[in-house]
Amino acid sequence: MGKKRRERHDQSRAAIESRPKIGGSKISLCMIVKDEEKNLRRCLESVRGHVDEMVVVDTGSSDRTPEIAQELGARVLHFQWTDNFAAARNYAVQNATGDWVLHLDADEELETSTASSLRSLLARIGSRLGCYRLPVVNLIGKPDRPSKLLSYQRRLFRRQPEMIRYVGIIHEQVQCLTGDRNWILESTDDFRIIHYGYLPQAYQEKGKHGRNFPLLLEAQRRDPYNPQHYFNLGLQYMTLGDKERAVFHHKQGLRLLDPSAGVNDLVVTACAQVVEYSHQLEQYQQAVALAEPIVSRTINPDLHYWVGRCWLDLDRLELAESHFQRALAARDSHETRLMEGSDSWLPLIGLTNCALRRKNYVRARRLCAQAQECLPKPEVLAPRAELLRLRCQPTECSQDPVELGDRLMRASDFEAAVDAYSLDIEQRTSGHVLRKRGEALHEQRRYALAADDFAAALRVDPTDTETAFLLAQSLIKLGDVERARDALMACLHMKPDYLKARVALFRLEVDDGRDARALPHGLRAVAAAGDDTPLCAELAACYRRLGMLQESYDLLWSWSGRHPGCKDIILPLVDLLCEHGEHEAALSSLSRAIESNQDEAIFYLRIGEVLSDVGRHEDAFNAYRIAAAKDPSLPVLKQAQKTLFDVTSRLAGSDQRHTNLVAADTSLLSTSDAIGR
């Protein structure tokens, strides 16, 4: 360390050590870091004036992280990484000297305007065991205009390593080993932590998904009946935008949950995400049934908002209003919020929608005004406010209801659009406006009412093909296949080249199990659609179900030449080839696909499966490793483990290959560069 650097280090240490210790309490910042030179300075500078010591445990940095920590006055320790976050954090706590421990990560900082409140906070508990849940503001989305999602986490606690320790190899939590009843666990808003790690660039640079997946899978393997591991896996998938896998793991965790156990933030967050996803799939009844055991035991606004949305779409207004009110009541609570506005403008809009359905326009107008006060962009609700003014003061407004309804549709305010169109229909019957209201009702997923409006519009103008098509779409959603088929046939009778209707009729017949009737519609649709690869794959599948394998192969082969890297075409072609023992041809097709699309992990996974089918297990394992490196997801890793087990079972004790494969398995389930980078 040079002379100037040593002087800066000494000055920083002196500044920290000269801080007065309020109430005799000394505060230690404890961190674990690796390759954090881009973030560490911001973090330490935000906190060093408010703590008595900074303990930074480095787990193997290859950049200037240790030097930066020392320059800013931190005591730097080194710890051999063991794929266990709790072990590293406990090492930092054991080597601290303070009475209290503050936990920060390098991609966080104390909010400047609130940092000075840190010391005065400790007087509340005195000398008793205690832990504070601190508000962590997670920045997500666009870096220039990020959303702010709030969670409360155990970040400040009394240092007693024999009783209070971190638990968990990943997503570790500080716990009192004798039970939560033996310490004081409080939440506070006195100061806040800002977390930058979920911003897209930061998340990609750190490669967290590659690091976390193997550790989460290992935790699940060690304790397969612990629901927390499934919730953590679900949250990891949700961070990657893979909602389907996230919800699968959340549901597994909810099934394993002990009904008599308390509900923590992780459980409630997982339940809220399952209900949100189920709502998107229009599975309202299943969503509220799944949430019932948990929603009654929490005031979490995210969960209550989504349960309210489900009841609203089931037209159970009393229950919807109850949950929206509970979401609003949580506004000043210390509940984790992963959705902006779930305790303010979102439930207020939900209550406004309930009032609109009850035609209580005075109440709706008041609630709409309250929602506008909370919204970051109040102008979003301006068209709705105009509608309610028109309803409450019709003599003072000259706004055309249909134009207002069109504005509301463009703003995706379908509830208010329905009411605006209804206002015009109350004055006169118009097929054009009936269709518009039907479209708004369809967007609201009120398919029966939408179908009634489309049918009424067709009675006014029987030649309107677009309305007939919309009627068919609503009937399909209602499961009324016969009437939907009649509506689509009517469309094609009036307009034979109507491609949307042709494709819809093809898919309707396929879903109804009538492949022979679907086939001619599929042929005409593919011929007219151009480069619609999913439609081509559906037609090829229809051929296969009808036993027309050569036709299916010819179609897929011809399209694979035009789209060599398209998985919609390549994967069914490979399946067809493998069914007939053409494994080399299948591998050749996959190789060409990889040349065109090297980042598609599913191609490597499929190569591994084909190689495994022909007994080339070591090559298969290598393919799985590449797939896992590109997409470290559960299906890939589990398949790789299974293949490895098959290989090692045959090769055990035979030669050096067994040793090599065991070493490969170790790297597969670790945070090594084979997968983690």
How many Å from the N-terminal Cα to the C-terminal Cα in the chain? 31
Q: What is the pLDDT of residue 666?
A: 39
Whether the predicted pLDDT of 123 surpasses 90: no
Q: What is the pLDDT of residue 15?
A: 43
State the Cα–Cα distance between residues 71 and 8, nearest whole angstrom.
6
Whether the predicted pLDDT of 17 surpasses 50: no
| Cβ neighbours, 10 Å, residue 69 | 29
Average pLDDT, stretch 484-513?
A: 95
Two tokens, residue 408:
């509301």
Query: Between 364 and 664, whose confidence is greater?
Result: 364
pLDDT, tens digit (0-9, with 9 covering 90-100), for 427-480: 888 899 999 999 999 999 999 999 999 999 999 999 999 999 999 999 999 999
Whether the predicted pLDDT of 1 surpasses 70: no
Q: What is the pLDDT of residue 420?
A: 96
Q: What is the pLDDT of residue 265?
A: 84
pLDDT, tens digit (0-9, with 9 covering 90-100), for 519-559: 999 999 999 988 899 999 999 999 999 999 999 999 999 99
State the Cα–Cα distance between residues 304 and 310, nearest whole angstrom.
10
Average pLDDT, stretch 626-654?
A: 57
Q: What is the pLDDT of residue 113?
A: 78
Q: What is the pLDDT of residue 262?
A: 76
Percent of the chain topping pLDDT 70: 87
Average pLDDT, stretch 349-359?
A: 97
Q: What is the pLDDT of residue 645?
A: 52
Whether the predicted pLDDT of 665 surpasses 50: no
Beta bridge partner(s), residue 55: 30, 75
Average pLDDT, stretch 309-335?
A: 95
Helices and strands, number each (H, E), in the chain: 33, 11
State the Cα–Cα distance between residues 248 and 3, nearest whole angstrom.
57
- pLDDT, averaged across the chain: 86
Whether the predicted pLDDT of 286 surpasses 70: yes
State the Cα–Cα distance between residues 64 and 80, nearest whole angstrom.
18
Beta bridge partner(s), residue 157: 101, 131
Q: What is the pLDDT of residue 19?
A: 43
Third-level CATH fold of 3-206: Spore Coat Polysaccharide Biosynthesis Protein SpsA; Chain A (3.90.550)
Whether the predicted pLDDT of 634 surpasses 90: no
Beta bridge partner(s), residue 147: 140
Q: What is the pLDDT of residue 640?
A: 54
Query: Between 443 and 624, whose confidence is greater?
Result: 443
Query: Between 640 and 419, whose confidence is greater?
Result: 419
Whether the predicted pLDDT of 650 surpasses 60: no
pLDDT, tens digit (0-9, with 9 covering 90-100), for 42-74: 999 999 989 999 999 999 999 999 999 999 999
542 Cβ contact list (under 8 Å, min separation 6)? 510, 515, 518, 519, 522
Query: Between 89 and 599, whose confidence is greater?
Result: 89
Percent of the chain topping pLDDT 90: 61
Q: Count CA atoms closer than 13 A to 460's CA, side-chain side.
A: 14
Point out the least confidently predicted range of 247-261, 356-370, 576-590: 247-261
Phi, psi torsion values for 132, nearest 5 degrees: -110, 135
What's the angle, vertex CA 23, arms to CA 17 and CA 26, rounded to 5? 35
pLDDT, tens digit (0-9, with 9 covering 90-100), for 392-429: 998 877 789 999 999 999 999 999 999 999 999 998 88
User: Residue for token digits 């806040």?
Assistant: 192
pLDDT band at 232 (very low <50, low <70, confident <90, very high): confident
pLDDT, tens digit (0-9, with 9 covering 90-100), for 177-227: 887 677 888 888 888 999 998 876 766 666 655 667 778 888 888 888 989
Two tokens, residue 163:
């009783």
Two tokens, residue 406:
């069109």
Beta bridge partner(s), residue 108: 195
Altogether, the residues listed in the chain come to a count of 677
Whether the predicted pLDDT of 638 surpasses 80: no
Domain residue spans of the chain: 3-206, 599-676
Average pLDDT, stretch 379-383?
A: 94
Whether the predicted pLDDT of 660 surpasses 70: no
